[in-house]
Amino acid sequence: MSDPVLDQAALAPYLEANIPGFSELAAVEKFKSGQS
């Protein structure tokens, strides 16, 4: 089973539109295992 790819280009504008004060996506990291 492959891991889904996170669309960072779509995520940043979504966060800017929905989180007051959000201005920049600094980094995106995947947890090594599990869901947290």
pLDDT score, position 30: 81
pLDDT in tens, 1-36: 577 788 999 999 999 999 999 998 898 888 777 665
The whole model's pTM is what? 0.62
Residues 35 and 16: their CA atoms lie apart, in Å, by: 25
Residues 12 and 23: their CA atoms lie apart, in Å, by: 8
- Residue 13 structure tokens: 């504008």
pLDDT score, position 5: 82
pLDDT score, position 34: 65
